[in-house]
Amino acid sequence: MKTFVLLALVAACSAAVFKVPATQSGSLRAKLISEGTYPQFLATQHAARIEQLNSGSQPFLDYFDDFYLGNITLGTPPQPATIVLDTGSSNLWVIDAACNSQACNGYPDSGYKKQKFDTTKSSTFTKETRKFSIQYGSGSCNGYLGTDTITFGGLTIKTQEFGVATHLAEVFGYQPVDGILGLGWPALAVDKVTPPMQNLLPQLDAPLFTVWLDRKLTISQGGSGGLITYGAVDTTNCDSQITYVPLTAKTYWQFALDGFSVGTFSENKKDQVISDTGTSWLGAPNTVVSGIVKQTKATFDWTNELYTVDCSTMQTQPDLVFTIGGTKYNVKSVEYILDLQLGGGKCALAVFSMGNGGFGPSWILGDTFIRQYCNIYDIGNARIGFANAHHSF
């Protein structure tokens, strides 16, 4: 499952610009590692991936890390739900109150009780006969479609089509979320559902939104996580100088990457890349991951299935340098080396290998990149912009 989410929807509104503060939940992976349950969790996920591959599905990998959480309400009277705001998908779904599996209720040791949507208590809900099913990297959800009023970020959509999940993969039971709200393009939406963002556009000053993610001393920390601004560029947390590049596809937020380098390693092959708020780390081709590992002198942790370096090098490792539209974007090692409380003075390298089999994007620029650069998702001009993000440290 991918991961970007906004919490505490107390919106400060100026005309048709809506600024929504974000809260970060902390790293699920760090929590499981500290409890000594991460290897068992990985084994369960491996089994799920084998099942997916046997069914002919090849989803992006998920790395179960920090979440940026956000609240919405659905129905009349409004019922709350905490959801993932995800630029890597385009559907909205929440959990049906009638689903009583452990995944739907939330595992007791997750520390989070699910907020489920009771369709029988909403006077404005209309159930459809159509079913829905969505496959994510960590598992699937399925159920039926319906329409109702939804509100998020101070914005209300009177009739929004969305999924009501009656079955969830086990991984969702560990995560502090009640659903996902996709911010991708309509062509990416399952069942040809119109994404909420497209329904919001008439209410906004400008057809765009800005994502700024805050930085934490340790990735296991929760608390304030950033800000999403609907209808305007965030001029408080982002530099005024913005560089835009055109999208190469209107499915994901996809564009061209001209080249990449780290230390003495470089690759100038033009690849397709997506900006994905729902992915915590950086996804890259195998050759690039090998180059990063060599330049950082990382070693593989077979128990936790990730690359590690000494935490003492967090501030001194070479920058990851992305060339996009002729401009170089440097990601500092403080962003791509994370303290997951592994012990032994070891920290995680926040990169993973992409295996797209020649189809789809070769890279994912997840929260590791977005924390360094505000991303401006310009729907009206089919482009994406980048500006330096401001942080307190």
The pLDDT tens digits for 187-243 are: 999 999 999 999 999 999 999 999 998 876 555 444 557 788 889 999 999 999 999
Instruction: Please give the pLDDT value at position 55.
Output: 30
Tokens representing 389 are 């993000």
Which residue, of 181, 203, 225, is where some domain finishes? 203
Instruction: Please give the pLDDT value at position 159.
Output: 97
- Cα 206 from Cα 101, distance rounded (Å): 42
Angle at 125 between CA 277 and CA 93, to 5 degrees: 20
Domain assignment present for 228: no
- 77, 143: one domain: yes
Tokens representing 77 are 């009277």
* CATH code for the domain in which residue 116 is found: 2.40.70.10
Q: Cite the active site residues.
A: 86, 276
335 neighbors 371 (Cβ within 8 angstroms)? yes
Residue 226, Ramachandran bin (φ over 0: left; ψ between -120 and 50: alpha; else beta): left
Q: Total structural domains in the chain?
A: 2
Per-residue pLDDT tens digits for 281-299: 899 999 999 999 999 999 9
Instruction: Please give the pLDDT value at position 37.
Output: 57
Rg (CA), the chain: 20
pTM over 0.75: yes
Per-residue pLDDT tens digits for 50-74: 343 333 222 223 334 556 677 899 9
Q: What is the mean pLDDT of residues 293-306?
A: 92
Structural domain of residue 326, as residue ranges?
Answer: 233-388
- 70, 194: one domain: yes
244 neighbors 230 (Cβ within 8 angstroms)? no
- 196, 316: one domain: no
- 199, 96: one domain: yes
